[in-house]
Chains A and B, each alone.
Chain A
Amino acid sequence: MEGRFWTLVFVIFAAAALAACAVAPAYQLWFPGSGEALSTIGARIDHLFYVILVVIAVVFVGVNVALGYVLWRGAKQPSEVKAVYSHGNQTLEVVWTVIPGVILLALALYQMDVWASFRMREFYPQDMRTIAEVTARQFEWRIRYAAPDKTLEADPHPDDVYTVNDLRVPVNRPVAISLRTEDVQHAFFVPELRIKQDALPGKRIPVWFEVTRPGTYDLVCAELCGWGHYKMKGRLVALSEEDYAAWLKQAFEDQFDDGVGEGEKSD
């Protein structure tokens, strides 16, 4: 009797875990925001996630059914019946080594493509444009753009445009940021785009992405960077090409505001 109760505990746990995952999207506990990845690479990452999820769900259900079955069987067996005397089964061992092995290897190989196009220079999109230099520091993101109609250079230029915690990019075209840090390690993380990259002291790392929908997305630091780690709240604003150009022009003018003319802007 007691054995069945405990069997149920384990079975109910597995069922509850599955159920929790099944209802999670309805309670906004699945992927952030709309649940849809809003960058091209993000969409491919989501796809890979779901592929793994399916494999894993099947294995999870299978293993738990097997576990539930052996427990239930053991629980309802009269206590005087002797256990099966078996030291194992060579064929079974081979089967359950080879089949998962093949599946796992296939999963790994299937991932390569996305990783290569996200991180490897040779596979970057041809028309990618480096749009800004993002400098992480304790505890904010300082961002530098080239003046309108100029290209960003590694060294600052007198007419560069600066913002803080506010990264703006045009949509529907591959853009790159040049990620660096002024002090400790940080990580550039935009959950809704599924993009993450550590900013490594002493290094300048290009990160490219193509946002597919205009909007405002949270920019988060994902690597412990000190006491104010949680304060590194920024935003990534994706704008249409025209809006982006207009904004950059406006930002340029604001930055070279001399306080006369149209009078003091109240920012």
Chain B
Amino acid sequence: MNSASMTSNRRTVSLVSLGLSLLLCGCGDAPKARFSWSKETDDLTPMANAWVKRAVLQNFGTPNELVAWERLPVEYGGFAGTVTAVETVEGGGTKLTVKRGEGTTAPASARQLLWKSGARVDEAEPDGVASIVAGETESTVLMAQRLDPVPDVGDEFVLNPGNRLLDGRRSYLKNCMHCHGVAGDGAGPTARYLNPLPRDFRRGVMKFTSTRPGERVSRDDLARTIRDGIPGTYMPSFLLMAPEEMTAVIEYVRWLSMRGEFEKRLNDELKDFSRTAIAEQGKNARLEYEAAVKNDPDAERPPTADELATRAEEDFRGMAEDLEFVFVDAGDLMAGPWERADATDNIITPSIARVADTPESREKGRVLYLSQKTKCYTCHGSTGKGDGPATEDFWAITGSSETYPERGLHDEWGHLVPPRDLTRGQYRGGRRPIDVFRRLYAGIKGTPMPAFGGTGLTDEEIWHLVNYVMAMPFEGPSTTTANPSPTVATSR
């Protein structure tokens, strides 16, 4: 509410200035978009804060100057190729015949040429002047000037590196940013009007995936969400987005998620240097002192807040040498899961085909739904209305001893998340049986919806549940009236 009215204020102020100063001043420089920092980063002590920001900026850059960090499994794009023939043209210039890398198409124009191997590797200023003579054939001909030294056959290069990421950024800023925010923090200017709130990508967690429990989202999953939208939310369907544009946007979203996740990992690493942690430390020391001073009047006085801050800064300085390792490590730790996400064996495939959707199967599903084994009804309610007893409880904040101030289930982002009303026939993660199967198998990531696959339920049992759940919108509550002696829902 506060931030909302602040934005409104800013708007009025500048509306007034729009009206009056249009006469007086010109357009001036446009402001530059920026990636916001997370709450946790802002909470760090000055040195740690500066270090985190530097590390993130160094590896990811700003919205206007993106950095492609090779450690990350992101397809930054560009036209990769190998030189197959070199010919010097009269009147200066070099004609390069090149074989293009797999899956890339020659761009229409050349912006930058980056050499990956050969004599020019590691040159500070890659020669940027090139024009493409023949584009769409197996072997492409490039005309280049000022190539010094002339490349050899077999040298590898990338033309227009980072193209896909740049295209993704352009499309993202046009289509996604208003809700999801420049940094993918789910806090764009429009976000405050939406219910549910737009996804905050920065945890690297997406709700609706086809991947196994705990795994990252695959590119296909993102494509599906972008293409079909999420029914019942403000995520619209971008069915008609050009395929290349969608590929680029997906890559950019993955990259933004990694950027956020990287920032989060650094913050987790430097948790001890947050103001909150230092304050907690001070509080504990004071309590200890108060306890100790009863027995020993000369007990050592607790450090003051200033002392603690200074001490933290000193500690941080002491760590300086390990810091490089910290962020390289964070990058590597992050790369693995993201790389794995698209692997075929990471996608949930039922071991058996869907069990025939018969009354018997639905009945089995119903029994499971109401059983202690699944406890579906505790959240979704015995009639599937999404009004189970768990929605009336106060739940603990993850990683904290306190509970949320309002009743009901919360997701990882700390937002209230009502269990789906299964009688409405609205399926946010897709309405195909396989989609519902995967919801049950892997849960909804980042939410209290648990994963039943593998250990909890057999694939056959999941299919019974799918059949039951998918029939709910069409059958009256009669089949679910058999009241399942509701037990007291236990808080986690």
Contact = CB atoms under 8 A, between A and B. Distances in A.
Interface of A: 138-140, 142, 156-158, 162, 164-166, 227-228, 231-235, 254-261, 263-264, 266-267
A259 B441 CA distance: 13
A255 B354 CA distance: 13
Contact of B434 (A156, A166, A227, A257): A257
A162 B427 CA distance: 12
B433 interface: yes
A31 to B, nearest CB: 21
Contacts of A156: 425, 473-474
B239 A235 contact: yes
Contacts of A258: 350, 353-354, 432-434, 437, 463
Contact of A264 (B239, B347, B474): B347
A266 B219 CA distance: 11
A156 B352 CA distance: 28
Nearest to A157: B474
A227 B191 CA distance: 11
Nearest to B463: A258
B353 A233 contact: no
B229 A263 contact: no
Nearest to B474: A158
Interface in B214-267: 220, 223-224, 227-229, 231, 234, 236-237, 239-240
A260 B350 contact: yes
Tell me which of A139, A258, A264 has the highest count of chain B C-beta atoms within 10 A of its own C-beta: A258
Contact of B236 (A140, A157, A162, A261): A140
B223 A267 contact: yes
Nearest to B459: A260
A259 B193 CA distance: 36
Interface in B416-456: 425, 431-434, 437-438
Main secondary structure of the interface of A (DSSP, over half): loop
Given A158-B470, A234-B240, A235-B239, A257 B433 contact: yes
A266 B190 CA distance: 32
B431 A164 contact: no
B237 A260 contact: no
Contacts of A266: 220
Contacts of B433: 256-259
B349 interface: yes
Contacts of B434: 257-259, 264
Contacts of A254: 432
B471 interface: yes
Nearest to B210: A264
Given A140-B237, A158-B471, A267-B220, A164 B228 contact: yes
Nearest to A162: B431
Contacts of A157: 474
Nearest to A156: B425
A258 B240 CA distance: 26
Nearest to B344: A264
A142 B240 contact: no
Interface in B108-136: none
Looking at B193, B236, B348, B350, which has the most chain A CB atoms within 10 Å of its CB? B236
Contacts of A139: 234, 236
Contact of A267 (B224, B350, B352, B463): B224
B229 A227 contact: no
B253 to A, nearest CB: 17
B239 A166 contact: yes
Interface in B10-42: none
Most buried by A among B193, B353, B431, B434: B434
Nearest to A266: B220
Contacts of A256: 432-433
A139 B433 CA distance: 25
16 contacts: A139-B234, A158-B471, A162-B431, A164-B237, A164-B239, A165-B240, A166-B239, A256-B432, A256-B433, A258-B350, A258-B463, A259-B434, A259-B437, A260-B349, A260-B350, A263-B349
Contacts of B432: 254-258
Contact of A165 (B190, B237, B438): B237
Nearest to B190: A227
Contacts of B210: 264
